[in-house]
Amino acid sequence: MKTLREVMRPSFLFLVQRAASVAEAVHAMTEHNVGIVVVLDGDRLAGVFSERDVVRRVVDRGLDPSRTLVGDVMTTELVVGDADEDYRSAIRKMDQANIRHLPVVSAGRLLSMLSIRDLMRVEMLDQGEELEYLRAYLYQIPPEVAASRAFR
């Protein structure tokens, strides 16, 4: 089973500092077409700031995005995945916490951010491979024929 380390894209991190304004963070999310940014305090992970945070903690409260600091409205109670954790465990973790993005860490160091979409894509590929294997087993299709069918 694949681990998060095998699934993640190491450069897929969009960062803002805790002292950035909400407007700056939203601009970064828009510019990179992502729904979440990692919030740092210096070089330390301090939290995350998502579209959900914008709606619930800024807009709903009537705060001015250009005057509100990300550090005042970010999510600080983080659920994280370990780089060596299997992806299905991460999916369960995200489902239980009702989150769509998972920071991936190793030895306390932030490596990447995965979305539920990233993990579901891996799940679908794994299930497709498993179905092809079972079909080949049930119908005694030679492995080379089954493999060529999987890539159509």
Q: What is the pLDDT of residues 56-70, one digit of tens each?
A: 999 999 999 999 999
Residue 145 has pLDDT above 80, yes or no: no
Confidence band, pLDDT 50/70/90 cuts, at residue 98: very high
Task: Compute the mean pLDDT over every residue in the chain, rounded to the nearest whole number.
Answer: 89
The pair of structure tokens assigned to 9 is 């894209």
The domain 4-150 is placed in CATH, from the list 3.40.50.20, 3.90.226.10, 3.40.50.1820, 3.10.580.10, at 3.10.580.10
**Residue in this structure with the two tokens 């030679």, named with its chain if needed:** 142
What percent of the chain shows pLDDT beyond 70? Answer: 89
**Helix ranges, 45-152 (H):** 51-53, 70-73, 87-97, 116-139, 143-150
Q: In terms of Cα–Cα distance, which of 103, 100, 97 is closest to 117?
A: 100
Distance of CA 29 to the CA centre of its chain: 14
Residue spans of the domains in the chain: they are 4-150
Confidence of residue 151 (pLDDT cuts 50, 70, 90): low
Q: In the chain, what percentage of residues exceed pLDDT 90?
A: 66
- Give the integer Cα–Cα distance in Å for 23 and 113: 21
Per-residue pLDDT at 126: 77
